[in-house]
Amino acid sequence: MAILAAGTGAPAAAGCEQPFLVPVAPTGLSVSISGESISGIYPDLLRSVSAKSPCKFIFSVVPRARQEAMFEAGKSHLLMPALRTPRRDQLGYFVPVIGTRATLLSVDGKRAPVRSVRDLLARKELRVVLVRGFDYGDVYLDLIDQLSAQGRLLLEKDGAAVARVLDAGFADVTLMAPTVFAGAILEDKRFTWMMPRLRIEPLEELPWGESGIYISRQTVSAGDRAVLQDLFAAAVKSGAVYESLKRYYPAAVLAGGVRPR
């Protein structure tokens, strides 16, 4: 908390004179957790920024829902990766990294297609599992409420837990950015059978959005925020992030849910 308090003071002359607290949760290959090791596209981006500037970042591993709660409560400096939403815009300054969208994901190639949220709500035979704390906008949050009222919803802590539920046959579909789910199943040999069978279905009411990094309005000074925004924007503009995505993910996954800024 002393570090957080330091972030709210007067802008530092050189910027980034205190480390920034960055809670992270497993998010496919965007953020990968293995024991004490934290890696992935977004931590790599922050480390590349740190190597070229005075800015330092302290990572800690938390569940996704707690990661969001800490940012809302002013107990962290950054939220990443995060889809841009009006609610989050009230809490932080957004730096876009990639274009993305949530899609319906499953491994059943025989069922009739689902083309919209309306279709999904009407198809009451389909059981849904989602990640607790994910936010893809108002339509998605409203869908959670309606699926819960129908008794068709399971909530899990991360993409790997969702894969376990689908693998066990306790749910039929999930809804998230394809890279998040693909990353989870690529990292665990128990679930790699899903990749060639992965079915990606965009839903009409869930359009393309932006995913990136939020800088807290509560805990980061104006001077440090400006420095971070410039550094992150320069790293994204270089194209390194999207090139990393192309190395990590199959082309079908990128085509279904990712596009460069």
211-221 per-residue burial string, b: 16 or more CB within 10 A, e: under 16: bbbbbbebbbb
Confidence of residue 231 (pLDDT cuts 50, 70, 90): very high
* Candidate from 14-18, 74-78, 145-149 with smallest mean pLDDT: 14-18
**Strand-pair category, 173-176 with 128-131:** parallel
Please report, for residues 54, 120, 181, 195, 196, the alpha-carbon distance to residue 178 in angstroms, rounded to integers and kept in the order given: 34, 18, 5, 11, 13
- Kindly report the average pLDDT of the chain as a whole number: 90
Confidence of residue 14 (pLDDT cuts 50, 70, 90): low
The rounded distance, in Å, linking the Cα atoms of 211 and 80 is 8
The rounded distance, in Å, linking the Cα atoms of 41 and 178 is 15
Confidence of residue 214 (pLDDT cuts 50, 70, 90): very high
Look-up of token digits 């949050």: 141
Residue 9 reports pLDDT greater than 80: no
> Longest Cα pair distance anywhere in the chain, in angstroms?
61
What pLDDT was estimated at residue 11? 38
Q: What is the mean pLDDT of residues 11-26?
A: 78
Per-residue pLDDT tens digits for 183-211: 889 888 899 999 999 999 999 999 898 99
What pLDDT was estimated at residue 137? 87
Residue 12 reports pLDDT greater than 80: no
